[in-house]
Amino acid sequence: MSLFKWTDDLSVNIKEIDRQHKMLVDNINELWRAMKDGEAREVIGGILKGLVDYTKVHFTYEEDLMEKHGYPGLAHQKKTHQIFVQKVSDFEEKNKQGKFMLSIEVMNYLKEWLQKHILVTDKKYTAFFNEKGVN
């Protein structure tokens, strides 16, 4: 059983971004599975690193697309992206130091942040990009 299920209401109607969002959902679910299975800190650390790395790839893709097309919400997106990357990077670093405990609260934070970010912040750019022919 997964923590976070992709549903059509999460779609931003841009194929590549939807694909990347699904990958982020998969990463969160992989971390959930590792927590439930009681995986070692090293395994969880590898999954966290993968989440940090893929989040950076995704955010860079979004921000580049926004810059290319002159999206007016770029500065806000960059700020929210930086905050999330820093938070997940902090989880990863604390895990390396043995000072991190993956918990339901952490998992809910990851799920709820991504879900809210897609449904509230990212959904704002759907019409903008679709009008530019990006879909």
Structure confidence by residue, pLDDT tens digits, 63-120: 999 999 999 999 999 999 999 999 999 999 998 898 888 899 999 999 999 999 999 9
In Å, what is the CA distance from 92 to each residue of 39, 43, 60, 83?
Answer: 15, 11, 20, 14
pLDDT at position 50 over 90: yes
Q: What is the mean pLDDT of the chain?
A: 95
SS3 of residue 8 by DSSP: helix
pLDDT for 100 equals 85
pTM of the prediction? 0.94
pLDDT for 117 equals 97
